[in-house]
Amino acid sequence: MQVAFHKLSLRDYLTAVAIFCNEVKGKSALALSRDLDVQYKTAFVLAHKMREAMASEMRGARLGGEGKTAEVDGAYFGGYVKPANYAEHRVDRRLAENQTGKRKVVVVIRERDGRTIPAVFKSEAASLAFIKARVEKGTTIQADDATSWDDLYARFPMKRINHEEAYSHDGACTNGAEEFFSRMRRGEIGHHHHIAGCYLARYAQESAWREDRRRTSNGDQVEAVLELVARNKPSVDFCGYWQRSRKAA
């Protein structure tokens, strides 16, 4: 977070990290601004810099290996548009011409008894190169029966589950990935409400970090985030974020 570049006191930054980590499913920028008694813009950038620090821990990480299992799944987030009141005015948001570009799919790789790595794509099928790059050879991939994952057979041993028939069968399931999506969905609905497509990856990475440390004490989580923040270089995306917006206007 590079305190030297900011006007808040060190105590405020330490408080912000503690408050941010204390939430189980995420912390909205509006709530953080009220807790710290700062402007919304300040809290918005502060929260995203903490998410950026959390994401740095996943950079270049690989999962699995011989004898290990990883679950793969995708779910759509962001870009919610409230349906029109009258049925005749409603449009099919699944059609390309009616989409805003903000709604994208979060694809997650979750190793059994291991780490979680998410990424954002336009479709599940677009994530195959990401999965192959992040999962070690010899890993058993578990996925649902969507055709998006069929090409993974060429590289990994696989187990598939048809969710229309069961959530778990013969040792195959994606329950770990679904747990991650459940946490992220509750965060979107209960805290953030609207997530723009360009920020979706940061929220997904935050959810993965929280999910992997759900049994870690608050104190240890705060120390971990402080360490990541201290190691992180000045943010390319969020240093001078609002000033850049004014220049662009």
What per-residue confidence (pLDDT) applies to 93? Answer: 74
Helix (H, G, I), strand (E, B) or coil at 43: helix
Residues in the chain: 249
- Helix, strand, coil share (%) of the chain residues, nearest 5: 50, 15, 35
> What H or E segment, with its residue span, contains residue 246?
helix 241-248
Q: Report residue 31 CA to chain centroid gap.
A: 20
Which range has the worst mean pLDDT, 17-26, 53-62, 74-83?
74-83
Question: pLDDT grade, residue 244 (50/70/90)?
Answer: low
pTM: 0.87
Architecture of domain 69-182: 2-Layer Sandwich (3.30)
pLDDT digits (tens, 9 = 90+) for 89-120: 888 877 777 777 778 999 999 999 999 999 99
Q: Report residue 144 CA to chain centroid gap.
A: 20
Domain with CATH 3.30.420 in the chain: 69-182
Compare 67 and 7 and report the one with higher pLDDT: 67
pLDDT digits (tens, 9 = 90+) for 132-143: 999 999 999 999
pLDDT digits (tens, 9 = 90+) for 6-56: 678 999 999 999 999 999 999 999 999 999 999 999 999 999 999 999 999
